[in-house]
């Protein structure tokens, strides 16, 4: 077979491990050719491709990011570009189909989150043979136990919390750490548990600043003169709205969140009169070398995708159903977000050890 592979959406640790596994499995197991598509679906719009062989993927297992580049702006069905000084959206999906055929591809492996895989699914309706691999540091993609990149992201946040603890304790401060998580609080709750946070704010549980202050007072009464708060960017106050940083025209996500950490910090300081600082980790969570868990999971996904391509399981996504990697219909995974269950193990465990969710 001649297999194309692209990475779409936001980058994350483990993408290169997937690419490496696709190429190595294709070469060693099936004697296939692999074609790398540059910068997500943009590469099939502009026909930016190059061969991927064993030499090209040598040494990339520990590297973060993606050697193919990525994009979360180039939806071929709503391709945004300036025409006559105005931003317009056009359907250029037929150009993608044409370039797929120009490159003599037998199938296309698409590595991405919900948005990228939704585009991939739409191309199966145009006759392309597509397989998906789930990717998001937010771990919010439905139908798979875990997505690669998540374990590395929460480790990055945990290490930051370890450092925040020492300065918070030294200066008797309240420290708010804002992390990623637009609609699901997986990073916040898992990293908060691992990093010893005292308060965790997630989109699934609206918070009350007075309740946050109450937790801080309780700690102070026990002689604990510092508090560490982890806030997902999508956390919302009870009866309020998400904190929007800005709007970006032409992006797949026009609403950019950000600022909830600073808002919470200001409110804590106003109520408690305790010095409160905010740290925003931002894209640090997407970077760095993938953890052992993510390297293994990414390798399993890549190898399984090539296997299922040869089995003819197109319009499917490989998924972790512990302990197995299986292929499920793409439609089972799309448009359903996996959110933190408010009565689930993570939240229940956190409450048992005294962590507050501001409610």
Q: Beta-strand (E) ranges in 281-348? A: 316-321, 324-329
The three-state secondary structure class of 96 is helix
Helices vs. strands in the chain: H and E counts, helices first: 11, 15
Contact in structure between 178 and 278 (CB atoms under 8 Å): yes
**Closest C-alpha to 176, from 283, 287, 275:** 275
Instruction: Write out the two tokens for 50.
Output: 């190059």
Indicate the pairing of strand 130-134 with strand 316-321. parallel
C-beta neighbour count of 317 within 10 angstroms: 29
Residue 138 annotated among the catalytic residues of the structure = yes
* Parallel/antiparallel/unpaired status of strands 49-52 and 33-37: antiparallel
Strand partners, 306: none
Rounded to whole angstroms, the Cα distance separating 240 from 106 reads: 50
Q: Are 260 and 243 in contact (CB under 8 A)?
A: yes
Q: Please identify which of the residues 74, 138, 151, 294 carries the catalytic annotation.
A: 138
Distance CA 257, CA 163 (A): 25
List of residues 6+ apart from 268 with CB closer than 8 A: 174, 176, 209, 212, 213, 216, 229, 274, 276
Q: Could you list the active site residues?
A: 138
């Amino acid at each position: 077979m001649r297999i194309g592979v692209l990475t779409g959406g936001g980058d994350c640790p483990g993408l290169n491990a997937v690419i490496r596994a696709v190429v190595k499995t294709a070469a060693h197991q099936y004697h296939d050719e692999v074609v790398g598509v540059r910068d997500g679906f943009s590469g099939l719009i502009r026909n930016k491709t190059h061969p991927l062989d064993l030499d090209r993927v040598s040494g990339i297992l520990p590297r973060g990011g993606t050697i193919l580049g990525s994009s979360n702006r180039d939806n071929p069905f709503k391709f945004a570009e300036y025409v006559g000084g105005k931003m317009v959206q056009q359907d250029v999906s037929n150009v993608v189909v044409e370039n797929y055929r120009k490159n003599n591809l037998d199938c296309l492996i698409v590595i991405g989150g919900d948005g990228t895989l939704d585009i991939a699914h739409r191309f199966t309706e145009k006759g392309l043979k597509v397989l998906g691999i789930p990717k998001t540091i937010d771990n919010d993609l439905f139908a798979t136990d875990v997505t690669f990149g998540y374990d590395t992201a929460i480790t990055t946040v945990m290490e930051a919390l370890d450092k925040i603890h020492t300065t918070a304790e030294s200066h008797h401060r309240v420290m708010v750490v804002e992390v990623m998580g637009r609609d699901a609080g997986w990073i916040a709750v898992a990293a908060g548990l691992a990093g010893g946070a005292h308060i965790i704010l997630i989109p699934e549980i609206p918070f009350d600043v007075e309740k946050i202050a109450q937790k801080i007072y309780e700690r102070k009464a026990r002689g604990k003169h510092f508090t560490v708060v982890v806030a997902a960017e999508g956390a919302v106050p009870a009866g309020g709205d998400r904190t929007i940083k800005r709007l970006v025209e032409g992006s797949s996500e026009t609403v950019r969140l950000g600022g909830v950490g600073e808002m919470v910090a200001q409110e804590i300081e106003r109520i408690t009169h305790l010095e409160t600082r905010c740290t925003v980790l931002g894209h640090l969570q997407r970077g760095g070398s993938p953890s052992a868990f993510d390297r293994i999971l990414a390798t399993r996904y890549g190898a399984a995708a090539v296997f299922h391509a040869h089995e003819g399981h197109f319009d499917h996504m490989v998924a972790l159903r512990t302990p197995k990697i299986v292929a499920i219909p793409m439609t089972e995974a799309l448009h359903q977000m996996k959110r933190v269950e408010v009565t689930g193990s993570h939240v229940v465990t956190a409450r048992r050890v005294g962590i507050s969710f501001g409610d």
